[in-house]
Amino acid sequence: MVSIAITGSPAVGKTTVSQLLASQGWEVLTVSELAKQFECQGEFDESMDSLEIDVHKLSEEYCPDGDNDIIIDGHLSHFLDVDAIVILRCQPDKLRDRLDARGYAEAKVNANVEWELISGTWAEILEFEINQPILELDVTNDSPSDSISKIIDWIDSGFEVPQQEKIDWLNQ
Protein backbone atom coordinates (compact mmCIF):
# COMPACT_ATOMS: atom_id res chain seq x y z
CA MET A 1 0.00 0.00 0.00
CA VAL A 2 1.15 3.53 -0.84
CA SER A 3 -0.31 6.70 0.68
CA ILE A 4 0.16 10.08 -0.97
CA ALA A 5 -0.91 13.54 0.12
CA ILE A 6 -2.15 15.84 -2.64
CA THR A 7 -1.74 19.34 -1.20
CA GLY A 8 -1.57 22.96 -2.27
CA SER A 9 -3.61 26.13 -2.15
CA PRO A 10 -7.37 26.02 -2.74
CA ALA A 11 -8.29 25.91 -6.45
CA VAL A 12 -5.01 24.44 -7.72
CA GLY A 13 -6.74 21.21 -8.78
CA LYS A 14 -6.22 18.83 -5.85
CA THR A 15 -9.70 17.33 -6.02
CA THR A 16 -9.69 17.03 -9.82
CA VAL A 17 -6.33 15.23 -9.75
CA SER A 18 -7.50 13.04 -6.85
CA GLN A 19 -10.69 12.09 -8.70
CA LEU A 20 -8.69 11.11 -11.78
CA LEU A 21 -6.47 8.93 -9.60
CA ALA A 22 -9.62 7.40 -8.08
CA SER A 23 -10.70 6.41 -11.59
CA GLN A 24 -7.40 4.51 -11.83
CA GLY A 25 -8.12 2.52 -8.66
CA TRP A 26 -6.75 4.71 -5.89
CA GLU A 27 -8.82 5.12 -2.75
CA VAL A 28 -9.36 8.84 -2.12
CA LEU A 29 -9.89 10.31 1.33
CA THR A 30 -10.26 13.99 2.10
CA VAL A 31 -8.85 15.85 5.07
CA SER A 32 -12.35 17.15 5.86
CA GLU A 33 -13.80 13.60 5.88
CA LEU A 34 -11.00 12.40 8.12
CA ALA A 35 -11.41 15.39 10.45
CA LYS A 36 -15.08 14.53 10.84
CA GLN A 37 -14.36 10.81 11.32
CA PHE A 38 -11.75 11.46 14.03
CA GLU A 39 -13.65 14.36 15.65
CA CYS A 40 -11.03 16.94 14.75
CA GLN A 41 -13.36 19.66 13.50
CA GLY A 42 -13.36 22.98 15.26
CA GLU A 43 -15.37 26.15 15.03
CA PHE A 44 -16.61 27.68 11.80
CA ASP A 45 -14.24 30.45 10.69
CA GLU A 46 -16.42 33.21 9.24
CA SER A 47 -13.51 35.05 7.61
CA MET A 48 -12.33 31.96 5.73
CA ASP A 49 -15.81 30.48 5.28
CA SER A 50 -14.67 27.05 6.48
CA LEU A 51 -14.48 24.77 9.50
CA GLU A 52 -11.27 24.85 11.47
CA ILE A 53 -9.47 21.50 11.66
CA ASP A 54 -7.21 20.42 14.51
CA VAL A 55 -4.60 19.00 12.17
CA HIS A 56 -2.23 18.12 15.01
CA LYS A 57 -4.86 15.90 16.63
CA LEU A 58 -5.78 14.48 13.23
CA SER A 59 -2.16 13.62 12.47
CA GLU A 60 -2.01 11.70 15.76
CA GLU A 61 -5.34 9.91 15.21
CA TYR A 62 -5.13 8.99 11.52
CA CYS A 63 -3.08 5.99 10.49
CA PRO A 64 -3.40 4.59 6.97
CA ASP A 65 -4.37 0.95 6.91
CA GLY A 66 -5.70 -1.60 4.48
CA ASP A 67 -4.39 -2.87 1.19
CA ASN A 68 -5.48 -0.07 -1.14
CA ASP A 69 -3.27 2.70 -2.41
CA ILE A 70 -4.53 5.93 -0.82
CA ILE A 71 -4.67 9.54 -1.92
CA ILE A 72 -5.41 12.12 0.77
CA ASP A 73 -6.86 15.25 -0.81
CA GLY A 74 -6.61 18.51 1.06
CA HIS A 75 -4.48 21.55 1.71
CA LEU A 76 -3.52 20.14 5.12
CA SER A 77 -2.87 16.58 3.92
CA HIS A 78 0.92 17.01 4.08
CA PHE A 79 0.64 16.92 7.89
CA LEU A 80 -0.68 13.34 7.87
CA ASP A 81 1.21 10.05 7.94
CA VAL A 82 1.86 9.47 4.23
CA ASP A 83 4.61 7.94 2.13
CA ALA A 84 4.97 10.91 -0.20
CA ILE A 85 3.61 14.40 -0.91
CA VAL A 86 2.55 16.07 -4.14
CA ILE A 87 2.33 19.87 -3.97
CA LEU A 88 0.26 21.42 -6.73
CA ARG A 89 1.16 25.06 -7.45
CA CYS A 90 -0.53 27.69 -9.59
CA GLN A 91 0.66 31.11 -10.74
CA PRO A 92 -0.94 33.61 -8.32
CA ASP A 93 -2.79 35.72 -10.92
CA LYS A 94 -4.36 32.61 -12.44
CA LEU A 95 -5.15 31.31 -8.95
CA ARG A 96 -6.91 34.60 -8.15
CA ASP A 97 -9.10 34.12 -11.25
CA ARG A 98 -9.98 30.57 -10.17
CA LEU A 99 -10.84 31.64 -6.60
CA ASP A 100 -12.91 34.61 -7.86
CA ALA A 101 -14.79 32.23 -10.17
CA ARG A 102 -15.72 30.15 -7.12
CA GLY A 103 -17.30 33.24 -5.57
CA TYR A 104 -14.95 33.38 -2.58
CA ALA A 105 -14.95 36.53 -0.46
CA GLU A 106 -12.18 39.00 -1.23
CA ALA A 107 -10.43 38.33 2.09
CA LYS A 108 -10.35 34.58 1.40
CA VAL A 109 -9.11 35.13 -2.15
CA ASN A 110 -6.35 37.46 -0.96
CA ALA A 111 -5.27 35.12 1.85
CA ASN A 112 -5.02 32.13 -0.48
CA VAL A 113 -3.22 34.04 -3.25
CA GLU A 114 -0.73 35.35 -0.69
CA TRP A 115 -0.25 31.81 0.67
CA GLU A 116 0.57 30.58 -2.83
CA LEU A 117 2.83 33.56 -3.55
CA ILE A 118 4.98 32.94 -0.47
CA SER A 119 5.02 29.13 -0.86
CA GLY A 120 3.13 28.63 2.39
CA THR A 121 2.90 24.85 2.05
CA TRP A 122 6.69 24.61 1.71
CA ALA A 123 7.08 26.82 4.79
CA GLU A 124 4.96 24.37 6.81
CA ILE A 125 6.84 21.36 5.48
CA LEU A 126 10.17 22.92 6.46
CA GLU A 127 8.93 24.21 9.83
CA PHE A 128 7.59 20.81 10.88
CA GLU A 129 10.56 18.94 9.37
CA ILE A 130 8.41 16.75 7.18
CA ASN A 131 10.80 14.42 5.36
CA GLN A 132 8.71 12.42 2.89
CA PRO A 133 9.59 12.56 -0.80
CA ILE A 134 7.98 15.60 -2.41
CA LEU A 135 6.96 16.28 -6.00
CA GLU A 136 6.15 19.93 -6.72
CA LEU A 137 4.16 20.59 -9.90
CA ASP A 138 3.33 23.88 -11.58
CA VAL A 139 -0.21 23.16 -12.79
CA THR A 140 -0.89 26.68 -14.08
CA ASN A 141 -1.00 25.57 -17.72
CA ASP A 142 -1.04 21.77 -17.36
CA SER A 143 -4.15 19.71 -17.85
CA PRO A 144 -5.13 17.39 -15.01
CA SER A 145 -4.08 14.48 -17.27
CA ASP A 146 -0.59 15.99 -17.59
CA SER A 147 -0.36 16.19 -13.80
CA ILE A 148 -1.53 12.58 -13.42
CA SER A 149 1.13 11.38 -15.87
CA LYS A 150 3.87 13.18 -13.93
CA ILE A 151 2.58 11.83 -10.61
CA ILE A 152 2.35 8.24 -11.87
CA ASP A 153 5.84 8.45 -13.42
CA TRP A 154 7.16 9.75 -10.07
CA ILE A 155 5.49 6.94 -8.13
CA ASP A 156 6.77 4.34 -10.62
CA SER A 157 10.31 5.73 -10.24
CA GLY A 158 10.18 5.00 -6.50
CA PHE A 159 9.63 8.70 -5.68
CA GLU A 160 12.85 9.86 -7.30
CA VAL A 161 12.63 13.63 -7.35
CA PRO A 162 13.11 14.88 -10.90
CA GLN A 163 15.65 17.63 -11.56
CA GLN A 164 13.61 20.80 -11.51
CA GLU A 165 13.86 24.35 -10.33
CA LYS A 166 11.85 25.23 -7.26
CA ILE A 167 8.77 27.26 -8.08
CA ASP A 168 9.32 30.82 -6.89
CA TRP A 169 6.56 33.22 -7.88
CA LEU A 170 8.35 36.15 -6.22
CA ASN A 171 11.35 35.97 -8.58
CA GLN A 172 9.55 35.43 -11.85
Residues 85-134: tens digit of each pLDDT: 999 999 999 999 999 999 999 999 999 999 999 999 999 999 999 999 99
| 3-state SS class at 138 | strand
8 A C-beta contact, residue 18 and residue 71: yes
Instruction: Tell me the pLDDT band of 6, cut-offs 50, 70 and 90.
Output: very high
Asked if pLDDT for residue 166 goes beyond 90, the answer is no
- Tens digits of per-residue pLDDT, 120-138? 999 999 999 999 999 999 9
CATH superfamily of 3-171: P-loop containing nucleotide triphosphate hydrolases (3.40.50.300)
Query: What average pLDDT does the structure give for the chain?
Result: 93
8 A C-beta contact, residue 33 and residue 120: no
Asked if pLDDT for residue 39 goes beyond 80, the answer is yes
8 A C-beta contact, residue 9 and residue 75: yes
Query: What's the confidence (pLDDT) of residue 131?
Result: 93
Asked if pLDDT for residue 31 goes beyond 70, the answer is yes
Choose among 87, 108, 80: nearest CA to 96. 108
Query: What's the confidence (pLDDT) of residue 151?
Result: 96
Query: What's the confidence (pLDDT) of residue 3?
Result: 96
Residues in the chain: 172
In this prediction the pTM is 0.94
